[in-house]
Protein backbone atom coordinates (compact mmCIF):
# COMPACT_ATOMS: atom_id res chain seq x y z
CA UNK A 1 0.00 0.00 0.00
CA UNK A 2 1.28 3.48 -0.88
CA UNK A 3 1.54 6.48 1.43
CA UNK A 4 -1.42 8.84 1.12
CA UNK A 5 0.94 11.82 0.79
CA UNK A 6 3.62 10.45 -1.57
CA UNK A 7 4.53 7.38 -3.63
CA UNK A 8 6.61 5.63 -0.93
CA UNK A 9 5.52 2.37 0.70
CA UNK A 10 3.15 2.97 3.65
CA UNK A 11 4.60 1.42 6.80
CA UNK A 12 2.34 3.11 9.35
CA UNK A 13 -1.38 2.45 9.39
CA UNK A 14 -3.09 4.80 11.83
CA UNK A 15 -6.75 4.53 12.76
CA UNK A 16 -8.32 7.50 14.52
CA UNK A 17 -11.78 7.86 15.97
CA UNK A 18 -13.13 11.38 15.55
CA UNK A 19 -16.63 12.28 16.71
CA UNK A 20 -17.89 8.79 15.97
CA UNK A 21 -16.17 8.55 12.57
CA UNK A 22 -13.29 6.20 11.82
CA UNK A 23 -10.44 7.71 9.84
CA UNK A 24 -7.61 5.55 8.50
CA UNK A 25 -4.24 6.95 7.48
CA UNK A 26 -1.62 5.01 5.55
CA UNK A 27 1.73 6.81 5.72
CA UNK A 28 5.41 6.34 4.96
CA UNK A 29 7.86 6.78 7.84
CA UNK A 30 8.61 10.42 7.02
CA UNK A 31 4.98 11.53 6.78
CA UNK A 32 4.02 9.45 9.84
CA UNK A 33 6.74 11.19 11.87
CA UNK A 34 5.47 14.56 10.68
CA UNK A 35 1.88 13.62 11.47
CA UNK A 36 2.66 12.20 14.91
CA UNK A 37 4.86 15.16 15.89
CA UNK A 38 2.13 17.70 15.22
CA UNK A 39 0.66 19.51 18.18
CA UNK A 40 -3.03 19.13 18.93
CA UNK A 41 -5.14 20.83 16.24
CA UNK A 42 -6.52 24.24 17.18
CA UNK A 43 -10.31 24.24 16.70
CA UNK A 44 -10.13 21.87 13.77
CA UNK A 45 -7.70 23.98 11.71
CA UNK A 46 -6.14 20.79 10.28
CA UNK A 47 -9.48 19.51 9.14
CA UNK A 48 -10.27 22.70 7.23
CA UNK A 49 -7.06 22.78 5.22
CA UNK A 50 -7.55 21.59 1.63
CA UNK A 51 -4.46 19.35 1.64
CA UNK A 52 -5.55 17.37 4.67
CA UNK A 53 -4.08 17.08 8.17
CA UNK A 54 -0.44 16.74 7.05
CA UNK A 55 -0.15 20.02 5.15
CA UNK A 56 -0.61 22.38 8.12
CA UNK A 57 2.24 24.11 9.92
CA UNK A 58 4.17 22.01 12.40
CA UNK A 59 5.21 23.17 15.82
CA UNK A 60 7.53 20.22 16.42
CA UNK A 61 9.32 18.30 13.70
CA UNK A 62 12.52 16.54 12.92
CA UNK A 63 14.38 16.21 9.68
CA UNK A 64 15.91 12.92 8.64
CA UNK A 65 19.37 14.28 9.55
CA UNK A 66 18.26 15.28 13.05
CA UNK A 67 16.67 11.88 13.56
CA UNK A 68 19.82 10.10 12.36
CA UNK A 69 21.89 11.99 14.93
CA UNK A 70 19.33 11.28 17.65
CA UNK A 71 19.22 7.57 16.77
CA UNK A 72 22.96 7.32 17.50
CA UNK A 73 22.60 8.79 21.01
CA UNK A 74 23.36 6.02 23.52
CA UNK A 75 22.92 5.48 27.25
CA UNK A 76 26.15 5.63 29.24
CA UNK A 77 24.99 2.83 31.57
CA UNK A 78 23.45 0.13 29.40
CA UNK A 79 24.56 1.24 25.93
CA UNK A 80 21.09 1.17 24.34
CA UNK A 81 20.73 3.64 21.49
CA UNK A 82 17.65 5.73 20.84
CA UNK A 83 17.26 3.79 17.57
CA UNK A 84 17.07 0.52 19.54
CA UNK A 85 14.47 2.07 21.85
CA UNK A 86 12.37 3.18 18.88
CA UNK A 87 12.50 -0.32 17.38
CA UNK A 88 12.07 -2.35 20.59
CA UNK A 89 9.67 -0.01 22.36
CA UNK A 90 11.42 -0.47 25.71
CA UNK A 91 14.33 1.11 27.49
CA UNK A 92 17.43 -0.70 28.71
CA UNK A 93 17.79 0.69 32.24
CA UNK A 94 16.36 3.30 34.62
CA UNK A 95 19.15 5.71 33.65
CA UNK A 96 17.63 5.93 30.13
CA UNK A 97 14.86 8.17 31.48
CA UNK A 98 17.50 10.76 32.38
CA UNK A 99 19.63 10.13 29.28
CA UNK A 100 16.72 10.50 26.82
CA UNK A 101 14.59 12.87 28.96
CA UNK A 102 14.11 15.52 26.27
CA UNK A 103 13.05 12.93 23.68
CA UNK A 104 10.84 10.87 26.03
CA UNK A 105 8.94 13.73 27.67
CA UNK A 106 6.57 14.39 24.71
CA UNK A 107 5.99 10.65 24.32
CA UNK A 108 5.16 10.19 28.01
CA UNK A 109 2.91 13.26 27.97
CA UNK A 110 1.10 11.89 24.92
CA UNK A 111 0.59 8.44 26.43
CA UNK A 112 -0.25 9.44 30.03
CA UNK A 113 -1.57 12.96 29.56
CA UNK A 114 1.03 14.37 31.98
CA UNK A 115 4.70 14.07 32.85
CA UNK A 116 4.29 14.02 36.63
CA UNK A 117 2.78 11.18 38.62
CA UNK A 118 -0.49 12.22 40.27
CA UNK A 119 -1.91 8.89 41.42
CA UNK A 120 -1.52 6.92 44.62
CA UNK A 121 1.83 5.81 45.90
CA UNK A 122 2.71 2.82 48.05
CA UNK A 123 2.81 3.42 51.79
CA UNK A 124 6.48 3.24 52.66
CA UNK A 125 8.66 4.67 55.31
CA UNK A 126 10.80 7.30 53.58
CA UNK A 127 13.84 6.13 55.58
CA UNK A 128 13.63 2.72 53.85
CA UNK A 129 14.15 4.27 50.43
CA UNK A 130 17.67 5.07 49.24
CA UNK A 131 18.46 8.63 48.25
CA UNK A 132 20.17 7.56 45.05
CA UNK A 133 20.11 4.35 43.06
CA UNK A 134 23.13 5.18 40.91
CA UNK A 135 25.25 2.43 42.47
CA UNK A 136 22.70 -0.32 41.83
CA UNK A 137 22.02 1.07 38.36
CA UNK A 138 25.75 0.95 37.64
CA UNK A 139 25.48 -2.85 37.85
CA UNK A 140 23.93 -2.76 34.36
CA UNK A 141 27.03 -1.07 32.95
CA UNK A 142 29.30 -3.39 34.92
CA UNK A 143 27.54 -6.45 33.52
CA UNK A 144 28.02 -5.08 30.02
CA UNK A 145 31.72 -4.47 30.74
CA UNK A 146 32.01 -8.02 32.12
CA UNK A 147 30.47 -9.43 28.92
CA UNK A 148 32.93 -7.38 26.86
CA UNK A 149 35.84 -8.70 28.95
CA UNK A 150 34.61 -12.28 28.46
CA UNK A 151 34.25 -11.74 24.70
CA UNK A 152 37.84 -10.46 24.53
CA UNK A 153 38.89 -13.41 26.74
CA UNK A 154 40.22 -11.14 29.50
CA UNK A 155 39.02 -13.36 32.32
CA UNK A 156 40.95 -11.64 35.12
CA UNK A 157 39.15 -8.36 34.47
CA UNK A 158 35.84 -10.22 34.11
CA UNK A 159 36.46 -11.82 37.54
CA UNK A 160 37.18 -8.42 39.14
CA UNK A 161 34.02 -6.94 37.63
CA UNK A 162 31.99 -9.96 38.80
CA UNK A 163 33.29 -9.49 42.36
CA UNK A 164 32.43 -5.77 42.23
CA UNK A 165 28.88 -6.63 41.09
CA UNK A 166 28.49 -9.15 43.91
CA UNK A 167 29.67 -6.59 46.46
CA UNK A 168 27.12 -4.04 45.27
CA UNK A 169 24.31 -6.63 45.29
CA UNK A 170 25.17 -7.75 48.82
CA UNK A 171 25.13 -4.14 50.08
CA UNK A 172 21.78 -3.42 48.43
CA UNK A 173 19.96 -6.74 48.55
CA UNK A 174 21.62 -8.56 51.43
CA UNK A 175 23.42 -11.92 51.34
CA UNK A 176 22.19 -14.48 48.81
CA UNK A 177 19.79 -17.09 50.12
CA UNK A 178 20.85 -20.74 49.63
3-state secondary structure the chain: CECCCCCCECCEEEEEEECCEEEEEEECHHHHHHHHCCCCCCCCHHHHCCCCCCCCCCCCCCCHHHHHHHHHCECCCCCCEHHHHHHHCCCCCCCHHHHCHHHHHHHHHHHHCCCCCCCCCCCCCHHHCCCCCHHHHHHHHHHHHHHHHHHCCCHHHHHHHHHHHHHHHHHHHCCCCC
Q: Is the pLDDT of residue 38 over 60?
A: yes
∠ CA 123-127-132, nearest 5°, is 105
Structure-model confidence comparison of residues 131 and 91, the more confident one: 91
Residue 8: C-alpha distances to residues 77, 121, 170 (Å): 37, 47, 55
**Calpha distance 105→115 (Å, rounded):** 7
What distance in Å separates the CA atoms of residue 151 and residue 158, rounded to the nearest whole number? 10
pLDDT tens track for 8-27 = 888 877 777 766 677 788 88
How far apart (Å, rounded) are the C-alpha atoms in residues 75 and 177?
Answer: 32
Residue-wise pLDDT tens digits, 100-156: 888 888 888 888 778 787 877 766 655 555 556 677 777 888 888 999 999 999 999
Task: Taking residues 163-170, report their average pLDDT.
Answer: 88
Choice among 12-16, 76-80, 119-123, 168-172 with the minimum mean pLDDT: 119-123
Whether the predicted pLDDT of 53 surpasses 50: no
Q: Cα separation of 68 and 62, whole Å?
A: 10
Amino acid sequence: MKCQQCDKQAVFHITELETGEVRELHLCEDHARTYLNQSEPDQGSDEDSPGGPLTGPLTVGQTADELAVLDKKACEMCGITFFEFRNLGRLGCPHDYAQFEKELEPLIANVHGATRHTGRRPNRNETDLPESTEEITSVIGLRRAMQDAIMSEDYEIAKQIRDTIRGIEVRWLGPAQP
